[in-house]
């Protein structure tokens, strides 16, 4: 009964939005964030986007049922997949390693897989950050390293136990989407993760690497006729906005959301 009450409430809100919004609301951007509360760290994602464009409307998906999230997402123009706990390894063929993962969130996994599918169907831009970067690879059929220090390498420190972020350099692939976005060949990024991309999904391409060879960013292998899609392993929302691997990524994402919305609106 609770599920249907929530669904009716969401439908009512959507109808009100349809009939009561002024004409300029057609130009208002609605960006869905997979999870944006309750921890203070999640507020960084909202602040990051709002500092770039204060008119953006943020729709958080996590606290809705899947049915309600689908209805709300139908009104959204872009998708931001945020960081968080580990993805359930059974989704990429490593179920036996579940005990080595940190607090898998099955509800969130299901939600984000659904949102990615809907965003692709709607042809709207997607930005994945940290866990979101890993989820994009998982969605498209790739796999993850369960624990970088144990299973991959210790040349680069990707996470510190005592503190918020550590920092390292990344190399950006020549002619890639990320170089187009940032205008850089290298950059210094923050890092707070113990997992990363193992087997890369077939239709994605790496666009940045750390010095140990870990994939730090991905995009579509074939970008022709596809909307913006970028996954980054670092946290641009926690970097100084002047860092080209922070502010420029946020601005480019929002520009792409606006362009796609304008195209769809006038199609």
Query: Cα separation of 259 and 265, whole Å?
Result: 10
Query: Cα separation of 250 and 54, whole Å?
Result: 13
Q: Answer whether 257's CB lies under 8 Å from 125's CB.
A: yes
Pairing status of strand 186-191 against strand 166-172? antiparallel
Q: Which residues are the active-site residues?
A: 130, 235, 237
Sign of CA dihedral 243, 255, 136, 99: positive
Cross-strand bridge partners of residue 218: 206, 231
Query: Cα separation of 39 and 37, whole Å?
Result: 5
Pairing status of strand 196-197 against strand 144-145? antiparallel
Q: Closest by alpha carbon to 217, among 133, 116, 142? A: 133
Query: Cα separation of 239 and 165, whole Å?
Result: 10
For 201, the 3-state DSSP assignment is coil
* Residue 142 in tokens: 């790739």
Q: Closest by alpha carbon to 239, among 204, 191, 200, 202? A: 191
165: left (phi over 0), alpha (psi -120 to 50) or beta: beta
Query: Cα separation of 238 and 226, whole Å?
Result: 28
């Amino acid at each position: 009964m609770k599920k249907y009450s929530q669904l009716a409430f969401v439908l009512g809100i959507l109808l009100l939005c349809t009939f009561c919004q002024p004409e300029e609301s057609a130009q208002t951007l609605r960006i869905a964030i997979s999870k944006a509360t309750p921890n203070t760290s999640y507020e960084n994602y909202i602040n990051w986007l709002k500092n770039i464009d204060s008119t953006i409307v943020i729709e958080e998906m996590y606290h809705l049922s899947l049915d309600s999230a689908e209805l709300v997402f139908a009104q959204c123009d872009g998708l931001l997949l945020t960081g968080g706990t580990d993805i359930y390894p059974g989704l990429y063929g490593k179920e036996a390693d579940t005990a080595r993962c940190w607090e898998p969130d099955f509800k969130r996994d299901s939600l984000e897989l659904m949102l990615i599918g809907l965003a692709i169907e709607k042809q709207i831009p997607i930005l994945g950050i940290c866990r979101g970067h890993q989820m994009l690879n998982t969605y498209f059929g790739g796999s993850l390293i369960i624990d970088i220090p144990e299973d991959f390498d210790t040349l680069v420190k990707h996470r510190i136990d005592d503190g918020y972020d550590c920092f390292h350099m990344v190399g950006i692939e020549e002619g890639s989407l990320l170089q187009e976005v940032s205008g850089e060949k290298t950059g210094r990024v923050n890092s707070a993760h113990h997992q990363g991309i193992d087997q890369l999904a077939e239709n994605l391409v790496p666009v940045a690497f750390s010095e140990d060879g870990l994939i730090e960013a991905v995009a579509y292998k074939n970008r022709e006729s596809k909307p913006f899609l970028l996954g980054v392993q670092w946290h641009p929302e926690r970097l100084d906005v002047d860092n080209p691997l922070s502010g420029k990524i946020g601005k480019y994402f929002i520009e792409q959301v606006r362009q796609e919305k304008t195209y769809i609106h006038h199609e």
